[in-house]
Amino acid sequence: MQNVLLRTEKLCKTFSSGGLQQHVLKNLDISLMKGDFTVIMGSSGSGKSTLLYALSGMDKPTLGTIHFGDNEISKLNNDKLAIFRRNNCGFVFQQIHLLDNMSVLDNVLASGLLISRNKKETAARAKQMLLEVGLGEEAWRKFPSQLSGGEAQRAGIVRALINKPAILFADEPTGALNSAASDSVLDVLTAMNKSGQSIVMVTHDIKTAMRGNRILFLRDGVIRGDMSLGAYEKGHSVERQEQLQDFLADMRW
Amino acid sequence: MSIMNLIKANLRKGKGTVVSLILLIAAASLLLNVGLTIISSMSSFYEHKVEELSDPYVVMMMKKSDYKDENGDFFRNYKGVTATEIEPVIVMPSATMRFGDSDMNTALSLLNADSNRSLGPLQLIDRLGTVPAADAIYLPYSYYKSGGYRLGDTISIAFQNKSYRYQTAGFFESTMLATNNMGLIKMFLSDAAYQKLAAELGEDASGILISATMQDMSQSTRILDDYHKVYPLATEGVNAKFHYMADIEVMKQVSGLTVNMIAAILVAFSIVIVLAALLVIRFRVSNIIKDSVVNIGVLKALGYTSRQITSSHVGQFSLISFIAGAIGVALSYALFPVFGGILATLTGLIWEQQAQGTLILVSMLLVVGSVTLVALFTSMRIRKLHPVMALRGGVKTHNFKRNYFSLEKARGGLQLLHACKSIMINSRQNLMITAIMIAVTFASVFSIALYDNIARDKTAFIHLVGAETSNVAIQSSSEANSGELKAAIDRMAGVKKSVILDNITTTVDGQSILTSVSDDYSKLNNQMVYDGRFPKFDNEIAISWAVSKLINKSVGDTVTVETGGATYTYLVTGLSQSISNMGQAAYLTLSGAQHLIPSYTGQLIQVYLDGVTNTQFMNEVKAQYGDMITEVTDIDATIDSQSSIYSSAVAAIMAIVLVITIIVVVLILFMVVRTTLLKRRRDFGIMKATGYTTPQLMNQLAFSYIPIMLAGVIIGGLLGALLTNSILTVLLTGAGIHNVQFVIKPPVIAGLCAGLVLLAYAVSMTAAYRMKHITPHGLITE
């Protein structure tokens, strides 16, 4: 259990609307390990994004518990959850969700300065990280609307990682990007994972899922399959793709 | 779907804003209708009352011993006089009675209630038939409204060291001598009480009242001027005696002055509220368009024209403003008794307001028209929106050119910098909020300054009116040597200083002017001369600003003064200002007046005390020099009671202005914050996702309005401090005022500003509490 980062017990999530109840997640027992690049897959409506947001403390489970280390986060109130997120989690959204009234650098600092009181050091770190994901000095001053989709998502990744989170959650991070931009974003995530960053990513794209070393398959709110892959390396893609496709075929995807 | 259905659908979406808008617009139309009605009705109201009550246009009262037939003939034979009446009255030049919470000293005339008279007949509002005839007194309506008297109450009138008690048998309404701000009050005694008192007081209190009406009401001032040219107050060998006159134009002006100021404040304030509502409407329409841009695209794709969609947006606000305007106007008539009460306090007359179709139409048109125009202009962008563009989410409504308050470089905490960014993003909206805050703060400072100077420390107001704020006034008897009496008073314990300050009537360059005479103007508390100085030498004169304009003379010019056939030329040394006598006044030294009336000594001595109460001094002076004195008047008590009607009216207006200021601040901020929450819910969701807590975001939002509110209240407060006197000067120019010097207290203004900012913070935080319902999860489900 030493490497378990996040653990759920009997996790359930139910949505009510107009007197109708929809059980989206059903009794999930999941353990996420440190350093893993976990990919959650499933068809539309399977509950994968709901699971991601429940695991990350963005949404509260209806039943069951979520433990982050020794702390049960499922019992925290909204503000304590916010503090938990700022200290431990990073988020990358499909729709990127940068604050459009701020420059790229300010978007990153808006997260970074939530924890750090050292403005100079945080700004230097943000700039370094932006450079590492291929965003040069010119891009720092731009507003989100002036960036390409790939640039904006890489800025989103830097924002997610600026506070050195224990775990990075990514919800379809390439869903709104073209192929080239997707590759550049996935390369960044892969590189981060190689340097030890734990990542949980939701996707329904096989090419994107291949970046992970663990695949969880979700259908009708239940984990139907859990497959381990080796660490992603460029050039192994055909073999890796076949392995993943076989798994998904077993899952009747 | 018809336009009406689109309107209904739009209204359903923002119920909270609709309610707030209705409140704001209703308040604006209420104040607008009240203000416009008062302003438009005041002049005709007074004239209508004069006709309704068959009141005279001119009255003159004097002691019977001073009256000669030729005095009455002057009025009878004056061109344009339509009716004259001369009747005996009882005159008390200085009577004391309770009025409100203090003793009031005033000149009093008592008329026989059972005498037949066609001018100014007794018009009772309320009467008590059970009062015995021997005790019955009828009091002016102002005694009911401000004096605290009720039917059956006993009134005790102190005159010449004796007290006379009567029972209130009724209250009457009159446009003449019925309020205590003119220095003379009339009351009616039943025939039995009148005859008994007349017999007891004898010839000394016997007076004559001359009443007259004219073809042209506006000529009423001229007849008195002409009278004084023929019969000056003081002439050689005859010192001024009890002599009182009033005309309807002066009464109208004195009563109307404060009423019109109040009405102006109400109208100005209603305009502020309408502007506030317009700001919110502009903001709201923008957001509705932004939020429903895809729906607009769908409607356009379905075949709705831009005009139809625009009409649905404009229509909802026109509908809201029409409903709210109608509510406001209807409420204004329900609340007219409240405002009528304030007006009755000031005028002593019953204000009955009938619905005025034209004014209702004007109020409604102003409110509905301005709202519709703003909604129309803001909705114009719908025309430019093509269906495809709208379906894709519309054009970007923002155009960020600068990254204000860079988080890297700017100083300050994170939340503060976020707040500052918000301020810069919404700069146009914030400018409008600042403008509204400037306006409401200014109005509040203005009303507080009025309250401070009229109801609390009245010195500046009393000086403005033209009265001298001594403690006690002593009228020496005509046989006594006033100079010797003054010297004796100066030697008494507790007397700080004394000065002779009396009046004579003169003509200055042909104009009839009430002229003050003093032995030493430098001793007066009320230094009314604002340009140059009071006269020091016998060949000098100061004239009021109004007289200066009338005769086209200023400091350095010479004027010819005439009275009783004697003339003398004086050098104008200064210009003064005061409201009394329509602002027309002149000032001579005692030695200067003696060029016209060599034996004149002045009989009224103003006494300033220190370390002794007015009552102690008055008793002492009566005991020591009673044989040389006709009357002793407690000036402090008189000022208190005579200004009490203004105090209560100004206090009521200040309360109304402050309450409305608070309502405006609360509603504006509430609506703006709520709309911002809707507009920026995505941003707040993102921030929550990255770890910002609800209190942090609430503070961020509230702080983004504090600098705006702060700027608004500081500018409004400064403008209030700097411009209140100038605005009052403009308002009072017609009354003879050139330079108002009301005391503006910086700590009071600072307290008001701080209070408004704290209120703004509290309201922002309360309205921002809905931030709690914005969840990062909403980002996914949106």
Q: How many CB atoms lie within 10 A of CB A189?
A: 28
Model pLDDT for residues B408-421, shown as the tens digit of each residue = 888 888 888 888 88
Domain boundaries, chain B: 1-49+243-398, 50-242
**pLDDT in the model for residue B356:** 80
Residue B389 has pLDDT above 90, yes or no: no
Residue B7 confidence (pLDDT): 67
Beta pairing class for B586-589 and B511-518 = parallel
Residue A22's pLDDT is what? 87
Minimum mean pLDDT range among B112-126, B379-393, B489-503: B379-393
Least Cα distance to B166 among B127, B194, B141 occurs for B194
Tokens of B30: 């209420």
Name the helix (H) or strand (E) containing A186: helix A179-194
pLDDT at residue B6 is higher than 70 = no
Residue ranges of B 744-763 with Cβ closer than 8 A to chain A: none
Say if residue A252's pLDDT is above 80: yes
Least confident of A13-22, A154-163, B211-220: A13-22
Q: Whole-angstrom Cα distance, residue A104 to residue B163? A: 88
**Helices and strands: H and E segment counts in chain A:** 9, 11
More confident residue, B244 or B494: B494
For residue A74, give how far its alpha carbon lies from the nearest alpha carbon of chain B (Å). 15
A213-222, B12-21, B436-445, B550-559: which has the minimum mean pLDDT?
B12-21
Poorest-confidence range of A52-61, B101-110, B193-202, B714-723?
Answer: B101-110
* B43 compared with B309, residue with greater pLDDT: B309
- Residue entry with tokens 């179709």: B357
Q: CA–CA separation, A75 vs B283, rounded Å?
A: 40
SS (H, E, C) B635-652: HHHHHHHHCHHHHHHHHH
CA atoms within 13 A on the CB side of B176: 30
pLDDT at B112: 95
Strands A31-33 and A4-17: antiparallel
Q: Which residues of B touch A156 (CB under 8 A)?
A: none
What residues pair up with A43 in beta bridges, in sequence order? Answer: none
Give the span between the Cα atoms of B279 and B161, in whole angstroms. Answer: 65
pLDDT tens-digit readout, B507-542 = 898 887 889 999 999 999 988 898 999 999 999 999
Contact A10, A184 (CB under 8 A): no
Residue A1 has pLDDT above 70, yes or no: no
Q: Grade residue B235 by pLDDT with cuts at 50, 70 and 90.
A: low
pLDDT band at B439 (very low <50, low <70, confident <90, very high): confident
H or E, element range at B770:
none
Buried b (16+ CB within 10 A) or exposed e, B688-699: bbbbbbbbbbbb
Please report the residues numbered 378 through 437 in chain B whose beta carbons come closer than 8 angstroms to any beta carbon of chain A: 396, 398, 400, 403, 406-408, 414, 418, 421, 425
Tokens 């892959």 label which residue?
A229
Find the mean pLDDT for residues A211-239: 87
pLDDT (mean) for B251-275: 73
Task: Report whether pLDDT(B272) > 80.
Answer: no
Helices (H) and strands (E) counted in chain B, each on its own, are: 25, 20
B428 pLDDT above the threshold of 60: yes
- Give contacts of A78 with chain B, Cβ < 8 Å: 693-694, 772, 775
Do B136 and B196 touch, CB atoms closer than 8 A? no
**Out of A213-227, A229-243, B147-161, which region has the weakest mean confidence (pLDDT)?**
A229-243
Per-residue confidence at B11, pLDDT binned at 50, 70, 90?
low
The arithmetic mean of pLDDT across residues B495-518, rounded, is 89
Positive or negative, the Cα torsion across B734, B739, B744, B746?
positive
Residue B167: pLDDT over 90: yes
Q: Distance between CA B271 and CA B281 in Å, rounded?
A: 15
User: Closest approach of chain A CAs to the CA of B763, in angstroms?
Assistant: 22
Please report which confidence band the pLDDT of residue B238 belongs to, taking 50, 70 and 90 as the band edges: low
- Residue B751: the pLDDT is 93
pLDDT-wise least confident of A238-247, B177-186, B707-716: B177-186
pLDDT band at residue B396 under the 50/70/90 scheme: low
Higher pLDDT, B212 or B563: B212
The total number of residues shown for chain B amounts to 782
| Residue B469: exposure state from Cβ atoms within 10 A (0-12, 13-18, ≥19) | middle
Cα–Cα dist B316/B9, whole Å = 10
Work out the average pLDDT over B535-559.
Answer: 92
- For B756, residues 6+ apart whose C-beta sits below 8 A from its C-beta are B437, B440, B441, B444, B661, B665, B709, B713
DSSP calls for B608-676: EESSS-HHHHHHHHHHHHGGGEEEEEEHHHHHHHHTHHHHHHHHHHHHHHHHHHHHHHHHHHHHHHHHH
């503070």: which residue's tokens? B699
Q: Average pLDDT of B591-616?
A: 92
- Res B590 pLDDT > 90: yes
Neighbours of B496 (CB within 10 A): 14
Neighbours of B600 (CB within 10 A): 25
Select from B406, B683, B775 the Cβ nearest to the Cβ of A106: B406
> What pLDDT score was predicted for residue B204?
82
Cβ atoms of B565 and B492 closer than 8 Å: no
Residues in chain A: 253
d(CA B717, CA B713): 6
Give me the mean pLDDT over the A95-124 stretch: 89
What average pLDDT score do residues A71-86 get? 89
Low-confidence winner among A111-120, B38-47, B608-617 (lowest mean pLDDT): B38-47
pLDDT at B717 > cutoff 90? yes
Is there a contact between B693 and A79 if contact means CB atoms under 8 Å apart? yes
Q: What tokens were used for B331?
A: 């409420």
Q: What is the pLDDT of residues A167-194, one digit of tens each?
A: 999 998 888 788 888 888 899 899 999 9
B689 touches chain A (CB under 8 A): yes
pLDDT at B582 over 70: no
Predicted pLDDT of residue B371: 86
Residue B410 near residue B318, CB atoms below 8 Å: no
pLDDT at B263: 73
Rounded to the nearest integer, the mean pLDDT of chain A is: 89
CA distance B367 to A161: 54
pLDDT of B399 reads 52
Give the tens place of pLDDT for each residue, B280-310: 777 777 777 777 777 777 777 777 788 888 8
Cβ(B7)–Cβ(B315) below 8 Å: yes
Rounded to a whole number, what is the distance in Å from the CA of A240 to chain B's nearest CA? 31
A-chain CB neighbours of B403 within 8 Å are 102-103, 106, 141, 143
Cβ pair A114:B780 closer than 8 A? no
Residues 6+ apart with CB under 8 A from B535: B521, B541, B542, B570, B573, B574, B587, B588, B589, B592
Place of tokens 């005391």: B743
Helix %, strand %, coil % of chain A (to 5) = 40, 25, 35
Considering only CB atoms, B683 lies closest to which of A93, A99, A163, namely: A99
In tens, the pLDDT along A13-62 reads 998 877 788 888 999 999 999 999 999 999 888 888 899 989 988 888 99
Torsion angles phi and psi, residue B577, rounded to 5 = -140, 145
Enclosing H/E stretch for B294: helix B293-302
pLDDT of residue B586: 93
Q: Considering only the beta carbons, identify the residue of B418, B421, B689 that sits closest to A58.
A: B689
**Which pLDDT score, from 0 to 100, does residue B213 have?**
94
Which chain A residue's Cα is nearest to B400? A101
**Lowest-confidence segment of B131-140, B277-286, B597-606, B749-758 by average pLDDT:** B277-286
What pLDDT, in 10s, does the model give residues B735-772? 677 788 888 999 999 999 999 999 989 998 999 998 88
- Ranking A239-253, B310-324, B709-723, B767-781 by mean pLDDT, the lowest is B767-781
Does the predicted model carry a pTM greater than 0.80?
no
Given a contact cutoff of 8 angstroms between Cβ atoms, the answer to whether A226 and A216 are in contact is yes
Q: Average per-residue pLDDT in chain B?
A: 85
Statement: residue A163 has pLDDT above 70: yes
User: What 3 state SS string does B154-211 have?
Assistant: EEEEEECCEEEEEEEEEEECCCCCCCCCCCEEEEEECHHHHHHHHHHHCHHHEEEEEE
Q: Decide if pLDDT at B274 tops 90.
A: no
Exposure of B667 in the CB half-sphere (CA atoms within 13 A): 30
State the Cα–Cα distance between residues B458 and B742, nearest whole angstrom.
10
Give percent above pLDDT 70 in chain A. Answer: 98
Q: What is the pLDDT of residues B609-663, one digit of tens each?
A: 999 999 999 999 999 998 888 888 888 888 877 777 777 778 887 888 888 888 8
- B238 DSSP assignment: B
